[in-house]
Chains A and B, each alone.
Chain A
Amino acid sequence: MTTAFTLNGRKVAAASDADTPLLWVLRDELGLTGTKYGCGVAQCGACTVHVDGSTRRACVTPLGSVAGRAVTTIEGAAAAHGTPGRVARALQQAWTELDVPQCGFCQSGQIMAATVLVAAIADPSDADINAAMAGNICRCATYLRIRQGIRLAASRLREQR
Chain B
Amino acid sequence: MRAARIVLAASLALVSATVLARVGDGPETLRGPADFAGIADPRQRSLALFAEMGKVIRSPRCLNCHPRTDSPTQGDAMTLHSPPVTRGPRGEGVTAMRCRTCHGDANVAFSGSEGSIPGDPHWHLAPREMAWQGRTLGQICRQMSDPSRNGGKSLAQLVEHNGEDHLVGWAWRPGPGRKPAPGTQALFGALTQAWVDSGAACPD
Q: Which of A24, A42, A54, A121 contacts B98 (CB 8 A)?
A: A54
Interface 9-mer from A7-15, A56-64, A96-104: A56-64
Within 8 A of B (CB), among A103-140: 113-114, 116-117, 120-121, 128, 131-135, 137
B168 CB–A CB distance under 8 Å: no
A60: which B residues are within 8 A, CB to CB?
102, 104, 108, 110, 117
Q: Report how far A61 CA is from B95 CA in the complex, Å.
A: 19
Partner of B97, one of A40, A55, A61, A121: A55
Selecting from B10-18, B61-69, B80-88, the interface stretch reads B80-88
**How many chain-B residues does the 8 Å CB contact rule pick out?**
22
Query: Contacts A42-B117, A60-B104, A60-B117; is A134 near B84 (CB within 8 Å)?
Result: yes
Question: Any chain A CB within 8 A of the CB of B101?
Answer: yes
A54-B101, A56-B101, A62-B108 given; A117·B96 CB < 8 A: yes
Q: Is the CB of A41 within 8 A of B104?
A: no
* B residues 102-152 touching A (CB-CB < 8 Å): 102, 104-105, 108, 110-113, 115, 117
> Smallest CB-CB separation from B119: which chain A residue?
A60
Min distance, Cβ A149 to any Cβ of chain B, angstroms: 14
Please tell me if the beta carbons of A116 and B111 are within 8 angstroms of each other in the complex: no
Tell me whether B7 is interfacial, beta carbon within 8 Å. no
**Interface residue? B37 (CB, 8 A):** no
User: Which residues of A lie under 8 Å from residue B82 when comparing CB positions?
Assistant: 43
B192 to chain A, nearest CB (A): 32
| A2 interfacial contact with B, CB 8 Å | no
In the complex the two chains form, is B98's CB within 8 Å of A55's CB? yes
In the bound assembly, the distance between CA atoms of A57 and B90 in angstroms comes to 21
Q: Do A65 and B105 have beta carbons less than 8 Å apart?
A: yes
- Chain A contacts for B153, CB-based, 8 A: none
| Contact call A121/B95, Cβ cutoff below 8 A | yes
Give the residue name and chain of the A residue nearest to B108 (CB).
Answer: A60
**Contact between chains at B96 and A40 (CB < 8 Å):** no
Contact (Cβ within 8 A) A131 B104: no
What is the bound-complex CA distance between A121 and B86, given in angstroms? 17
Nearest CB of chain B from residue A146's CB, rounded to whole Å: 13
Contact A131 B111 (CB under 8 A): no
The residue that B111 contacts in the complex, of A24, A65, A120, with Cβ under 8 A, is A24
B74 vs chain A, min Cβ distance (A): 11
Q: Are A40 and B83 in contact (CB under 8 A)?
A: no
* Interface residue? B39 (CB, 8 A): no
Residue of B97, B111, B112 near A132 (CB, 8 A) is B97
Query: Is the CB–CB distance between A131 and B110 below 8 Å?
Result: no
Taking CB atoms, residues of chain B closer than 8 Å to A42 are 83, 102, 117
- Highest count of chain A CB atoms <10 Å: which of B94, B98, B105: B94
Residues of A within 8 A of B96 (CB): 55, 113-114, 116-117, 120, 132-133
Query: Is there an interface contact between B83 and A120, defined as CB atoms closer than 8 Å?
Result: no
Identity of the chain B residue whose Cβ is nearest the Cβ of A44 in the assembled complex: B83
A-B CB proximity, top 6 nearest: A135-B83, A132-B96, A116-B96, A42-B102, A40-B112, A117-B96
Listed by A's residue number, 6 A-B pairs whose Cβ atoms lie within 8 Å are A40-B110, A41-B110, A41-B112, A60-B104, A132-B94, A133-B97
